[in-house]
Amino acid sequence: MQFNEPAGTNLFDSATIVGKDHTRIDGPLKVTGAAPYAYERHDVVEGQLYGYPVGATIGHGTITAMDTEAAKAAPGVRAVVTTLDIDPLELGMNNVARLFGGSEVMHYHQAIAVVVADSFEQARAAANLITVSYEEGEAVDYSLDAAFERMEGTGEPDTQYGDMEAAFSDGAVTIDQMYHTPGESHQMMEPFASIVDWSDGGDLTGWISNQMINWTHGSLATTLGINKERVRIESPYVGGGFGGKLWLRADTVLAALGSRAAGAPVKLALPRPMMMNNATHRSATVQRIRLAANPDGSLRGISHENVSYCLPGGRGENATAQTPLFYASEAMHVKNHLAEMPLPETADMRAPGEAAGLMALEIAMDEMAEALEMDPVAFRLANDTQVTPSNPDMPFSERHFAECLEQGAEAFGWDSSRPAPGSRREGDWLIGQGVAGAFRGALALPSGARAAIENGKLVIETDMTDIGTGSYTILAQTAAETMSLTMDDVEMRLGNSAYPVSSGSGGQFGAVSSSTGVYAACMALREKIAQQLGLEEATFADGQVGSGNERQSFLELDVEAVDSIQWGDFMGEFQKATFGAHFVEVGVNVYTGETRVRRMLAVCDAGRIINPVTARSQVIGGMVMGVGAALSEDMALDTGRGMFANHDLASYEVAVHADIPEQEVIFLDTLDDVASPLKAKGVGELGLCGVAAAVANAVYNATGIRLREYPLTLDLMLDQLPEV
Amino acid sequence: MPPPIEFQVRRRTLLAGSAAAAVSAGFTGKAGAQSGATPAGSETTTVSLTVNGEAREVTVDNRTTLLDALREHLQLTGTKKGCDHGQCGACTCSVNGNRVNSCLSLAVMHDGDEIETIEGIGTPEAMDPMQTAFVENDGFQCGYCTPGQIQSARSVIEEIRAGIPSHVTGDLTAEIAITDEEIRERMSGNICRCGAYSNILAAITQVAEESA
């Protein structure tokens, strides 16, 4: 199916299932422990052995020797494979650091050996017997501030228009500040885990935990140097990803190599303390933002430069991603820099770019509102735009940012009189409110599915994954709606490389892309059904097909169709994005500076909401991650060793129950007929965008202390708290 | 009686001191390694457990945690391994009626104990009220922390009703009310990275009210 023009009126406009609340169809399996995750597939193959990884303990350098004699002689050990035993493996799609092979250490905890044994305990004990000699690389300056100073003003701007010099002169109100965001780790609850059967070194089957089946299918073949046709992978249940499981990772490679060496299937999970430094993370950023505005609040100039770190060839964290698209401005200068550093790989984490960028930009907007003596909601409204700021000929397909702000202010009880910072106190707590805008692009990728009638059921097969996002449920809703069936008539099969290639789960593109792919397959199935029954002008309603008054059920047929959605060029004439506004109230302890979030509201403009239940969970989950980003998450870099020291869940502090207050979500349900036939866009990353800045702005409103460095810990505030 | 300090100390503040220890654990190539010396006694032990009402006997490596005995030996994989260090709560199950982090407990310590796992609470066809409430309130997303959350959730209601105080309990002499604050505090050992906390709170509150 081609999507070549804006969706006109279609079946989703009179939907009875799509757009309605539906609890998760995979829910009963998940709450009873019956949904099998990757490491738990006792049922799929006999004779599984246990693998345990060994990670490098230097930041970068070369391995000169590895002694595996004791490990090989340890009880129960079946095989030991070290990185020195094999040539460097090819890099899979978007892998920057080598996953295994060769003597070069590119980052701390890079996988350098796998031990396979009869039991987990034996494998772990033997792994600890391997000794490694290194030649450490030269000392490195890990200062991102120094990198920013070096790189600021260099290179071709990514976006540049208007007269920046004029914008910042002649009576303009200006601000000019530096902002710091820390490295962040996905820390999904299910570790990277795989069972791989490559016992004979021929055909390979992997039961893995991965967001992107097709990408990883190809990467695994590339990395191991085998034909893709010989590889099959399954990932029906994924215990969270947040971008960390977009790519092939070391767990699958080590399990495969261990399996070939031991001649038996091998299961391997990365130990939690190895995840942070072995796998990918969101880079820290240093950002300088300069804003110039007219006294009426209209922006004259925006300058945003950012630096993040990455390994050579990496992507870092482009914190300027939203800036060219979010606010109107007469002139703009935007530049993203990458500083190469031998640190664990930086790559996509939920809302890559915007998450870190809005943490800074939305504080800057708050600061400018204050400089203008304007209400921050009104200031943002004054700079809303319906067209691309740098290209007025390119409109947004749909943009309802202003409604997000206005409805949010109303629902939240926003105090537009803005009492002076630090002036509201309840007991030991200083109370403040903060607001921030949210922006995240609306990507769509080609996505396919197979729809078939089998044994009286509508079966949908696609390699799409459900990483907690609700794919099982929303795809079943889409299929049931399109075929005029009930949810009980649909059987969903996901996450298998044997099924048609989908968009996969990432970048907020999963729901819109895969639901359209299922729609395409179901429309193809409708045609096949009509053909088989010899019907012309067939209509589908109430679980029956027919033309005129001749109606019949079609669930007795044996029929199938495969199709995919391809996105047309006309979409390039529009900017597609999602928008939101976050409102937060905090209390800051007047003695200790401890911040407690008291209530939160998100208003989202993200097209048709396919299932308000699962979409709301996505948004509140993003808000929770935003509270962590604001108040506690911080990958602590050991600048001597080039590693992150707080690499477990005791010391890398994500938000827990006690950190999360009352949360409210409002969906505008603004249909976007350029975005997809369902007029839907993604929402899973929007919920995170801007949250941390709303918290920071609320802390400022509560205390009068302006923090531009995350996390907003009490030590940054103690010496500035008001007298008590 | 007023609480000793008026502000709340968060759980991980107390654990911060363990960070340095975690850095050196496991991956230095030496730390925790055992010499090749032969152990003095048997390396395995046969343990009798009652699991979900059924008598089970398992022979385990003495180093096997209760969690791995359940997941790998008895193939009851509903109890999850999130961190294996007692930091996330995914492995929470019930031992003799009390919730424990099963990753922090060796199987050999549980001879004769009664274990209840998520599989013993309900099935997809016949769910326990707390499991139903989690589905109805969408108290999960990826589902990996969920069995542990449900185990803790059931225990939290019992612990409050049994008068066991928590850090946020104001009056230790009065009957403890099941408040949002009490539930959040007592659930804070169970991390949900998908961030379903508000919905989990709603599910627990629903069950508490229905069973009041």
Domains of chain A: 2-35+445-570 (3.30.365.10), 353-442+576-720 (3.30.365.10)
From chain A, pick out residues whose CB is under 8 angstroms from the CB of B184.
657-658, 660
Examine the domain organization and report whether B99 and B117 are in the same domain.
yes
User: In which residue ranges of chain A is pLDDT below 70?
Assistant: none
From chain B, pick out residues whose CB is under 8 angstroms from the CB of A651.
12, 15-16, 18-19, 22
| Residue B103 within any structural domain of the chain | yes
Q: In 3D, which of B75, B74, B79, B73 has the Cα closest to residue B93? A: B79
- What are A604's two structure tokens? 């989202």
Element (H or E) spanning A570, and its range?
A: none
Q: How confident is the model at residue B31 (pLDDT cuts 50, 70, 90)?
A: very low
| Residue B20 within any structural domain of the chain | no
Burial A9-18 (b: 16+ CB within 10 A, else e): eebbeebebb
Residue B188 above 80 pLDDT?
Answer: yes
pLDDT at B12: 41
**pLDDT digits over A340-378, tens only?**
999 999 999 999 999 999 999 999 999 999 999 999 999
Inter-axis angle of helices A510-533 and A471-483, to 10 degrees?
A: 30
Does the annotation count A685 as an active-site position? yes
Put simply, the answer to whether B22 touches A592 (Cβ < 8 Å) is no
pLDDT at A171: 84
Mutate one of A210, A654, A656, A721 to test the B interface: name it (highest B CB count within 10 A): A656
Q: How confident is the model at residue B45 (pLDDT cuts 50, 70, 90)?
A: very high
Put simply, the answer to whether A657 touches B84 (Cβ < 8 Å) is no
Among partner residues A23, A40, A596, which is closest to B138 by beta-carbon distance? Answer: A23
From chain B, pick out residues whose CB is under 8 angstroms from the CB of A26.
143
Residue B204: which CATH number? 1.10.150.120
Examine the domain organization and report whether B54 and B111 are in the same domain.
yes
Q: Measured between CA atoms, how close is B60 to chain A, in angstroms?
A: 10
Q: What angle do CA A284, A285, A291 make, to 5 degrees?
A: 155
From chain A, pick out residues whose CB is under 8 angstroms from the CB of B36.
70, 73-74, 129
Examine the domain organization and report whether B138 and B116 are in the same domain.
no
Compute the CA torsion angle A511, A474, A234, A347 (nearest 10 deg).
30
pLDDT at B19: 41
Q: What residues does A452 pair with on adjacent strands?
A: A459, A560
Put simply, the answer to whether B118 touches A649 (Cβ < 8 Å) is no
Residue B1 above 80 pLDDT?
Answer: no
Residue B85: which CATH number? 3.10.20.30
Q: Which of residues 126-165 of B touch A (CB under 8 A)?
A: 127, 131, 134-136, 138, 140-147, 150
Put simply, the answer to whether B185 touches A658 (Cβ < 8 Å) is yes
Put simply, the answer to whether A272 touches B192 (Cβ < 8 Å) is no
Domain end marker among B121, B137, B156: B121
HSE-CB for A87 with a 13 A CA cutoff: 5
CB contact set of A530 (below 8 Å; sequence gap of 6+): A536, A538, A545
The residue with tokens 């092979």 is: A101
Domain end marker among B105, B121, B137: B121
The conformation of residue B113, written as its DSSP 8-state character, comes to -
pLDDT at A548: 82
3-state SS, B136-201, equals: HCCCCCCCCCHHHHHHHHHHHHHHHHCCCCCCCCCCCCCCCCCCHHHHHHHCCCCCCCCCCHHHHH
Say if B24 is an interface residue toward chain A (CB within 8 Å): no
Examine the domain organization and report whether B195 and B141 are in the same domain.
yes
Across the A:B interface, residue pairs with CB atoms under 8 Å apart total 265
| Nearest-Cα residue of chain B relative to residue A654 | B193
Put simply, the answer to whether B19 touches A651 (Cβ < 8 Å) is yes
Put simply, the answer to whether A189 touches B192 (Cβ < 8 Å) is yes
pLDDT at B40: 77
| Residue B26 within any structural domain of the chain | no
Q: How confident is the model at residue B39 (pLDDT cuts 50, 70, 90)?
A: low
Cα A653 from chain centre: 19
What's the CA gap between A719 and A712, in Å, rounded?
A: 14
Q: In 3D, which of A210, A289, A291 has the Cα closest to residue A255? A: A210
Put simply, the answer to whether A27 touches B140 (Cβ < 8 Å) is yes
| Residue B36 within any structural domain of the chain | no
pLDDT at A200: 94
Distances (CA, A) of A538 to A529, A543, B165: 9, 13, 66
Mutate one of A124, A130, A472, A657 to test the B interface: name it (highest B CB count within 10 A): A657
Q: Which of residues 77-116 of B touch A (CB under 8 A)?
A: 77-85, 87-88, 90
The boundaries of the domain holding residue B184 are 129-210
Among partner residues A31, A240, A623, which is closest to B135 by beta-carbon distance? Answer: A31
Mutate one of B24, B141, B179, B192 to test the A interface: name it (highest A CB count within 10 A): B141
Examine the domain organization and report whether B107 and B176 are in the same domain.
no
Are the C-beta atoms of residues B79 and B148 closer than 8 Å to each other? yes
Residue B18 above 80 pLDDT?
Answer: no
| Residue B25 within any structural domain of the chain | no
Catalytic, out of A527, A685, A709, A723: A685
At A201, which amino acid appears? G
From chain B, pick out residues whose CB is under 8 angstroms from the CB of A623.
195
| Residue B100 within any structural domain of the chain | yes
The residue with tokens 């400089």 is: A371
pLDDT at A170: 84
Put simply, the answer to whether B201 touches A621 (Cβ < 8 Å) is no
Put simply, the answer to whether A32 touches B138 (Cβ < 8 Å) is no
Put simply, the answer to whether B31 touches A190 (Cβ < 8 Å) is no
Q: In 3D, which of A610, A582, A603, A581 has the Cα closest to residue A675? A: A610
What's the CA gap between A635 and A654, in Å, rounded?
A: 11
Q: Tell whether the torsion through CA atoms of B172, B176, B179 and B185 is positive or negative.
A: positive
Are the C-beta atoms of residues A54 and A114 closer than 8 Å to each other? yes
Are the C-beta atoms of residues A604 and A433 closer than 8 Å to each other? no
Categorise residue A61: left if φ over 0, alpha if ψ from -120 to 50, beta otherwise.
left
What's the CA gap between B135 and B56, in Å, rounded?
A: 31
Among partner residues B19, B85, B127, which is closest to A31 by beta-carbon distance? Answer: B127
Element (H or E) spanning A112, and its range?
A: strand A111-117
Q: In 3D, which of A583, A461, A170, A36 has the Cα closest to residue B143? A: A36
What's the CA gap between A440 and A450, in Å, rounded?
A: 30
What's the CA gap between A473 and A423, in Å, rounded?
A: 47
DSSP codes, A665-708: EEE-----TTT-TT-B---TTTTTTTHHHHHHHHHHHHHS----
Q: Measured between CA atoms, how close is A389 to chain B, in angstroms?
A: 34
Put simply, the answer to whether B124 touches A663 (Cβ < 8 Å) is no
Among partner residues B88, B118, B185, which is closest to A189 by beta-carbon distance? Answer: B88
pLDDT at B25: 41
Are the C-beta atoms of residues A314 and A79 closer than 8 Å to each other? no
Q: How confident is the model at residue B24 (pLDDT cuts 50, 70, 90)?
A: very low
Collapsing DSSP states into helix, strand and coil, what is residue A530?
A: helix
Burial A337-357 (b: 16+ CB within 10 A, else e): bbbebbbbbbbbbbbbbbbbb
Among partner residues B141, B183, B188, which is closest to A656 by beta-carbon distance? Answer: B188
Are the C-beta atoms of residues A22 and A611 closer than 8 Å to each other? yes
DSSP codes, A425-476: EETTEEEEEEEEEEEEE-----EEEEEEEETTEEEEEES---SSS-HHHHHH
| Residue B15 within any structural domain of the chain | no
Examine the domain organization and report whether B92 and B151 are in the same domain.
no
Q: Measured between CA atoms, how close is A553 to chain B, in angstroms?
A: 28
- Tally of structural domains, chain B: 2
Put simply, the answer to whether B117 touches A33 (Cβ < 8 Å) is yes
Collapsing DSSP states into helix, strand and coil, what is residue A404?
A: helix
Domain end marker among B76, B102, B121: B121
